[in-house]
Copies of this chain bind each other. A is one copy, B any other.
Amino acid sequence: MKITLAQLNYHTGNFELNTQKIIEAINNAKSEQADLIVFSELSVCGYPPRDFLEFHDFINLCLKNVNIIAEQCVGVAAIIGSPTVNPQIEGKDLFNSAYFLADGKVQQIIHKTLLPNYDVFDEYRYFEPNRVFEIVNYKGKKLAITICEDLWNLNANPMYIQCPMDELIKQQPDCIINIAASPFSKVQINTRLEVLKTNAIKYNLPLFYVNHIGAQTQLIFDGGSCVLNSNGDTVKQLRHFEEDTIMVELDAINSMGIILQNKENEIINYQNIEQALVLGIKEYFRKQGFKKAILGLSGGVDSALVVYLAAKALGAENVMAVMLPSQYSSDHSVSDSEKLVENLGVKYDLISIEKTFDALQNTLNKQFENTEFGIAEENMQSRSRAIILMALANKFGYILLNTSNKSELAVGYGTLYGDMCGGISVIGDLYKTEVYALCDYINRNKEIIPKNILTKAPSAELRPNQKDSDSLPDYEVLDAILFHYIEERKGPQEIITLGFDEALVLRTLKMVNTNEWKRLQAPPVLRVSSKSFGQGRRMPLVAKYLG
A positions within 8 Å CB-CB of B = 11-15, 17, 46, 48-52, 54-58, 60-61, 88-93, 117-118, 122, 124-125, 156-161, 216-217, 283-284, 287-288, 349, 351-353, 355-356, 358-360, 362-364, 367-368, 371, 374-377, 379-380, 383-384, 386-388, 390-392, 394-395, 416-417, 421, 423, 489-494, 517, 520-524, 535, 537-547
Contacts and interface: CB of A to CB of B under 8 A. Distances in A.
A527 B50 CA distance: 20
B287 A542 contact: yes
A395 B417 contact: no
B544 A161 contact: no
Nearest to A378: B394
Nearest to A493: B57
A546 B160 CA distance: 36
Given A364-B388, A494-B57, A540 B13 contact: yes
A540 B47 CA distance: 9
B545 A52 contact: yes
A62 to B, nearest CB: 11
Which secondary structure dominates chain A's binding surface? Answer: loop
Given A57-B494, A376-B395, A521-B521, A355 B351 contact: no
Given A351-B364, A355-B362, 12 more contacts: A12-B542, A49-B540, A49-B543, A52-B540, A58-B491, A89-B156, A91-B158, A363-B388, A376-B394, A380-B391, A383-B390, A387-B417
Q: How many copies does the complex hold?
A: 2
A492 B351 CA distance: 46
Contacts of A157: 89, 93
B46 A14 contact: no
A410 B349 CA distance: 35
Contacts of A423: 517
B92 A159 contact: yes
B55 A540 contact: no
A160 B91 contact: yes
A360 B360 CA distance: 10
Contact of A489 (B55, B368, B394, B490): B55
Contacts of A46: 540, 543
7 contacts: A52-B539, A88-B161, A122-B122, A364-B395, A375-B394, A380-B387, A387-B387
A56 B388 CA distance: 45
Contact of A90 (B58, B92, B160, B283): B160
User: Lowest 8 CB-CB distances: which A-B pairs, in order?
Assistant: A57-B491, A13-B545, A359-B359, A14-B544, A287-B542, A376-B394, A376-B395, A12-B543
B58 A545 contact: yes
Contacts of A90: 158, 160-161
B392 A50 contact: no
Nearest to A513: B13
Given A158-B89, A387-B380, A540-B217, A545 B14 contact: yes
A123 to B, nearest CB: 9
A41 to B, nearest CB: 15
B383 A360 contact: no
A524 B535 contact: no
A50 B160 CA distance: 20
A503 to B, nearest CB: 18
A219 to B, nearest CB: 10
B49 A284 contact: no
B367 A356 contact: no
A522 B521 contact: yes
Contacts of A364: 351, 388, 391-392, 395
Contacts of A50: 538-540
A363 B352 contact: yes
Contacts of A544: 11-14, 17, 287
Contacts of A375: 394-395
A416 B422 CA distance: 10
Nearest to A49: B540
A543 B388 contact: no
A539 B51 contact: yes
Given A57-B492, A159-B91, A417-B386, A48 B524 contact: no
